[in-house]
Structure 1
Amino acid sequence: MKRDVMEQLIEWKDSADRKPLLITGVRQCGKTYVCKEFGETYFEDVAYFYFEGNKGLASVFEYDFDVDRILDELGNIIRGKEIIPGKTLVIFDEVQACPNAITSLKYFCENKRELHIICAGSLLGVSIKRDNISFPVGKVDRLQMYPMTFSEFLRADGGEAIYKGVQRYEKGRELPELYTAALEKALKYYYIVGGMPEVVAKWVETHNFEKIEKLQDNILLDYSSDFAKHAPKTDIPKLGWIWESIPKQLAKDNNKFVFSHVKAGKRSNELEDALEWLVDAGLVHRLELVKNPELPLSFYADATFFKVYMADVGLLRRKSGVSHRTIMEDSELYKNFKGAFTENFVLNELISQGIHPYFWRSGNTAELDFLFEYDDMVIPMEAKAELHTRAKSYQQFCKKYHPDVGFKFSMKNVGNHEVSETKTYSIPLYLIWMIKQYLNW
């Protein structure tokens, strides 16, 4: 399965000012697979080291940070084969289990820049904040990985020709049914399956809903086990409460995250650390409110008023108890939750493209789903689950602030028009992976 992150790894490999690379991302999003595939494709040799539960391996980093000694012991003693800079890709997996290995990256950067070294960790984001690690600030490159996007899923599930064909069409031109029918069906499948690589692989192999749901259940159980294994003991029950509350909070008409709805009698100051743990682990995303849409948006974000979404729509669908039949048949009973589910999908797609959005609200009269900055512009975006694209809040925002460009994502075909002098692109949800192409167009 092709992952878009591979292009970033190639760019890192060929960079003249390359540093050791830290890859973070939610557990089971494909970090290890991508690292190994990258090494086997672009290097003569791969030296892979797994740190979790390996005290012997960790002991290599306890004496000092002499990189020549470390490489000699890793290569000639532990794996029985020399590590050759420029030819060998070194992979440190679950590196958060060995804080000294993280600290050593400073010395690899300073004294062995010719060595290609990648460190990956499912809970690395948590460990960096939580543990007393001498972190090599300024001495590492960073890369965040996510579950597979819709376009990656489409290509993995036999849609490579559709993927390439769409890009041959002029950006403002409607797509023929040859494309729209296939893409609509693929999007429904993606809503069911999601982007966890193991689940996608099983889907591609079997196209069996029951088999992929068993894998999704196992992943959700693994995440809960991580709470008990890696989180502070005082936070374990809090993590469970928050984790279980996310689908319920999304189902509300006003899906602002409310701490008092997590557990009766609990206040935000009692639960904030637990929520931050989930964010650092990559399991959830926060979408913060911006009332004043000026640049930079981060300066005007209200960190106390936010929504919380899950990192994978397939897991959200399974955790919410929504049947695959409900998705495939567009059941009316699913209509209310479908809007929040669509927002979750759009947010994940934006974040995977390096776009970090906010949402806008004007009192109780209007709420815009997403707002992000791009090339000195503030870009408004509205997301609708169905064909209906009338968006009063979007119109109100454009009338008040007059942005140059905006987007409406729905199941409606491609089109564009003016809204209060704002160039507005109507784009199907299944083409959200092309948003930067539209912005540059």
Structure 2
Amino acid sequence: MLYRKIEVLIKEHLRTDSKRILLIDGARQVGKTFIIRYVGQQLFENFIEINMAEDSLGDQLFAKVKTVEDFYLQVSMIAGRKMDKKENTLIFIDEIQAYPHLLTMLKFLAQDDRFTYIASGSLLGVTLSHTPSIPMGSIRKVRMFPLDFEEFLYANGMNQFVIDSLRSKFEKRESLDENLHNKMMDFFRKYLLVGGLPDAVNAYLETQNIQRVRDIQSEIHEYYAADASRYDQERKLKIRRIYDLIPSNMENKKKRIVAKRIEEKKGKTFSDYQDEFEYLISAGIVLNVQAISDPHFPLIESQDKNLLKLYLNDVGILSGILYGNNIRAILDDNCSINLGSVYESVVASELIAHGYKLFYYDNRSKGEVDYLIDDFASLSAVPIEVKSGKDYTIHSALNTLVTNKDYHIEKAFVLCNQRQITHKGKITYLPIYFVMFFQNRPRDEADLLIP
């Protein structure tokens, strides 16, 4: 079984006497149902699972449920003998977005407090935005992502002792020895190939067959595209077109969305597609990075909503589209292959999964820096540049940014293939794999915001 860090959060929530219902959001195929089922069956004598998407295509028992009593009646038809008491009964409402009215009912189920509940779904951001009565205060919504690099290491046999040792090295800014560095780079490159979708990771672990992995990634990629576009008939062609353009955008120098390319119509602007962008982002299948031209803390106050980069939610899907079955392009670190787009993609997914809202620096005269994140400890912005080649010390825009006294930047990072951790003024050069320890959340009561 794959280790998922969200397991701890789910267990802690279900073990507390919380008055809120935990709602796990996220794209399809990231493992929501599996991990909730696994935890629920561990902790509760009576585990009741109801898939609302299946119900909507079948008996539609919950289609017209309007009261708590109606809800209990329908549950009893499925698993009446398991409905005991709150302490030993967990009702898992899966694919809740199939019945938006049930999102409102969560408030009343929480108030009734007769059983323990947990729910999950996809496109919940979209669904909630169209829900007349959002159950604020009654739900705790948490987003789940594909396996991050740390979870991928666990899947490949690394244990807690090794991970903690690596984290200590990162926090002390100590370089790994050459053998361990090479091992970590090997794992990192394999992560670029496999990504973090559970089915793809399991296929890799079981078969080491890249064709099998690519087939799964391709199937999920097509499923995402079809799934996202079917929910809004009026906009589905534009949604699908934006999603399909992302890999080719990654190969462009600027990498950002160009509005006129979406429908190949002159005069179209970013604002014409705001709803489509929001739809894809809320679905969890793309990751958004907003432009900042004036990087003052907090960054959200300076974002430019008309300049946007979109990344696929899984680096394995991207590397499959770009390189197919040619694993040597990535594993051999071929100098003729520019891996910049997959490096940037994996950094985006790591940072977002670890709690950061992402921005990038864009200045017409001074250039671009790949990422900007908020540092709440120093109340300043932290620039991050991602380099996949040997020219990792060349970054004129970053140099200009950190020396601008108006921005009060205290530190910056360049993530690269270099083994040695080095410092040049405010800039620290880190091996790319250490991005897994950039955290914007407390861990075991310790604040791990980029020490």
User: Which 5+ residue runs of structure 2 have no aligned equivalent?
Assistant: 440-446
CA RMSD of aligned residues (A): 2.2
Counterpart for residue 334 of structure 1: 337
Given that 1:2 and 1:152 are in contact with CA atoms closer than 8 Å, whether structure 2 keeps it comes out as yes
Residue 132 of structure 1, CA deviation: 4.3
Indicate yes or no: 2:417 matched with 1:411.
yes
Residue 235 of structure 1, CA deviation: 1.7
Given that 2:178 and 2:419 are in contact with CA atoms closer than 8 Å, whether structure 1 keeps it comes out as no
Residue 418 of structure 1, CA deviation: 4.5
Counterpart for residue 106 of structure 2: 105
Give the match's secondary structure for 1:408.
strand
Residue 320 of structure 1, CA deviation: 2.8
Identity %: 25
The change in CA–CA distance for 1:219 and 1:19 in structure 2 (over 3 A counts) is same
- Larger mean CA deviation between 384-393 and 103-112 belongs to 384-393
Q: Normalising by the residue count of structure 1, what TM-score does the alignment of the two structures yield?
A: 0.91
Counterpart for residue 296 of structure 1: 298
The separation in 1 between residues aligned to 2:181 and 2:19, in whole angstroms, is 42
- Within a 5 Å distance, the mapping from 1:334-373 to structure 2 comes to 334-335=337-338, 338-373=339-374
Indicate yes or no: 2:150 matched with 1:151.
yes
1:162-215, Cα deviation, whole Å (9 max, x unpaired): 434423546221101232111111111110111101100111111111111111
The separation in 2 between residues aligned to 1:39 and 1:127, in whole angstroms, is 25
The separation in 1 between residues aligned to 2:95 and 2:62, in whole angstroms, is 16
- Within a 5 Å distance, the mapping from 1:10-29 to structure 2 comes to 10-29=11-30
The change in CA–CA distance for 1:158 and 1:265 in structure 2 (over 3 A counts) is same
Residue 5 of structure 1, CA deviation: 1.0
Give the match's secondary structure for 2:318.
helix
Given that 2:101 and 2:131 are in contact with CA atoms closer than 8 Å, whether structure 1 keeps it comes out as no
Given that 1:12 and 1:18 are in contact with CA atoms closer than 8 Å, whether structure 2 keeps it comes out as no
- Larger mean CA deviation between 87-96 and 55-64 belongs to 55-64
Counterpart for residue 118 of structure 1: 118
- Larger mean CA deviation between 24-33 and 120-129 belongs to 120-129
Q: Which letter maps to 2:396?
A: K
The separation in 2 between residues aligned to 1:261 and 1:60, in whole angstroms, is 42
Give the match's secondary structure for 2:147.
coil
The separation in 1 between residues aligned to 2:191 and 2:386, in whole angstroms, is 17
The change in CA–CA distance for 1:366 and 1:195 in structure 2 (over 3 A counts) is same
Give the match's secondary structure for 2:236.
helix
Q: Normalising by the residue count of structure 2, what TM-score does the alignment of the two structures yield?
A: 0.89
Residue 100 of structure 1, CA deviation: 2.4
The separation in 2 between residues aligned to 1:38 and 1:204, in whole angstroms, is 23
The separation in 1 between residues aligned to 2:73 and 2:182, in whole angstroms, is 57
Given that 1:61 and 1:101 are in contact with CA atoms closer than 8 Å, whether structure 2 keeps it comes out as no
Q: Which letter maps to 2:77?
A: I
The separation in 2 between residues aligned to 1:107 and 1:58, in whole angstroms, is 21
User: Which 5+ residue runs of structure 1 have no aligned equivalent?
Assistant: none
1:376-408, Cα deviation, whole Å (9 max, x unpaired): 232121111134431222221111034223222
Residue 345 of structure 1, CA deviation: 0.9
How many aligned positions are there? 431
The separation in 2 between residues aligned to 1:115 and 1:293, in whole angstroms, is 48
Give the match's secondary structure for 1:192.
helix
Counterpart for residue 287 of structure 1: 289
The separation in 1 between residues aligned to 2:222 and 2:364, in whole angstroms, is 40
The separation in 1 between residues aligned to 2:448 and 2:112, in whole angstroms, is 43
- Within a 5 Å distance, the mapping from 1:36-55 to structure 2 comes to 36-55=37-56
Give the match's secondary structure for 1:81.
helix
- Within a 5 Å distance, the mapping from 1:117-196 to structure 2 comes to 117-129=117-129, 131-160=130-159, 162-169=162-169, 171-196=172-197
1:72-120, Cα deviation, whole Å (9 max, x unpaired): 541x3212323221212221111111122211111122221x7431111
The separation in 1 between residues aligned to 2:68 and 2:256, in whole angstroms, is 51
Counterpart for residue 442 of structure 2: none
Given that 1:72 and 1:82 are in contact with CA atoms closer than 8 Å, whether structure 2 keeps it comes out as no
1:305 pairs, out of 307, 323, 331, with 307
Q: Which letter maps to 1:135?
A: I
2:276 pairs, out of 274, 277, 288, with 274
Give the match's secondary structure for 1:52.
helix
Give the match's secondary structure for 1:146.
coil
Given that 1:61 and 1:70 are in contact with CA atoms closer than 8 Å, whether structure 2 keeps it comes out as no
Indicate yes or no: 2:432 matched with 1:426.
no
Given that 2:124 and 2:283 are in contact with CA atoms closer than 8 Å, whether structure 1 keeps it comes out as yes
The change in CA–CA distance for 1:438 and 1:384 in structure 2 (over 3 A counts) is farther
